[in-house]
Amino acid sequence: MKRIGVFTSGGDSPGMNACIRAVVRSAAHYDTEVIGIRRGYQGMIENDMARLEMKDVANIIQYGGTMLKTARSKDFMTEEGRRKAFNHLEKHGIEGLVCIGGDGTYTGALKFYDEFGIPSIGVPGTIDNDLYGTDYTIGYDTAVNTALDAIDRIRDTADSHNRVFFIEVMGRDSGFIALNAGIAGGAESILLPEIMSDFGALISHFENKSRRRKDFSIIVVAEGEKDGNAFEIAKKFQAKFDMYDIRVSVLGHIQRGGKPTANDRILASTLGSAAVKSLLDGVSNMCVGVVNHHVRLTSFSDAINKRKTIDATLWELSKILSH
């Protein structure tokens, strides 16, 4: 291949710029041109793309977000939209794609290959860390540390006022951020989408007469918690324990932005470079990831359909440390 395309799609995550930088510089090392596609699949449909030179990716490694912008494209879900996208890729002489995003991005790339034969390599860019085939996704470490910083600050005011704080973190379908930030932040309880009846366990924990007396408490809730969001859970909790002064904080999109940590910059650089090498080696319909500190390839099909589970050891640890 002499010319490849790179784009970011779906939700942004810290480290995407580091990944784009690695793609461009690695491609240059192999004497391959890179076309940057803005706004993901939507930009592909609208022909919003241009060549990326080495100078274009200088001084971006430290910034959150994505220089190529990102979007979710309903048009790409139609055959007509995908046909337009293919025609524009053909016009630019693009022979393969590096797709940075989540399972929706991978699904689009797989569909694109089935219809038009465009080979793609996926790179896991999402703060949720819920993609199968990699121990960590780009942006996850930064998001956990951002959430932890907020929890530490809230802990100060919870302590000062003897309050119970329900802190909602991102994780619509997964509790990776909640579990790790909760343990690191000394949460008394953590509620995850993967764990059934954890609200009942929370109530039992506070009703337990052997529970250590505390002046304040931090409870971390993943936004996808089955018993409701943090406000709903706090309301139900208040109905049981009206003696507590309860507050709710929803961290929201601050977890998606900010400077990527060193771990995310290194992960993004490693996977961006590996994606280019894989594509030039003739690999297609696979995504790169790091498993046990080694770069591994996983099929799009497995990454999309197989579910990554939370670490059961960490979940048990969270319960031990909450007493």
What positions carry a catalytic annotation? 128
Residue entry with tokens 């709903």? 232
On whether the CB atoms of residues 7 and 68 are closer than 8 A, the answer is yes
On whether the CB atoms of residues 1 and 277 are closer than 8 A, the answer is no
On whether the CB atoms of residues 216 and 164 are closer than 8 A, the answer is yes
- Angle 242-226-230 from CA coordinates, rounded to 5°: 45
C-alpha dihedral sign at 239, 159, 191, 257: positive
Max CA pair span of the chain = 71
Label the pairing between strands 294-299 and 286-291: antiparallel
Give DSSP secondary structure letters for 192-259: -TTSTTHHHHHHHHHH-TTSPP-S-EEEEEETT-TT--HHHHHHHHHHH-TTS-EEEEE-GGGGT-SP
- Measured distance CA(160)–CA(9) in Å, rounded: 42
Q: Report the Cα–Cα distance between both ends of the chain, in Å, rounded.
A: 58
- Measured distance CA(50)–CA(39) in Å, rounded: 12
- Measured distance CA(284)–CA(296) in Å, rounded: 14
Looking at residue 228, its amino acid is G
E strands in 135-188? 164-169
C-alpha dihedral sign at 271, 272, 273, 278: positive
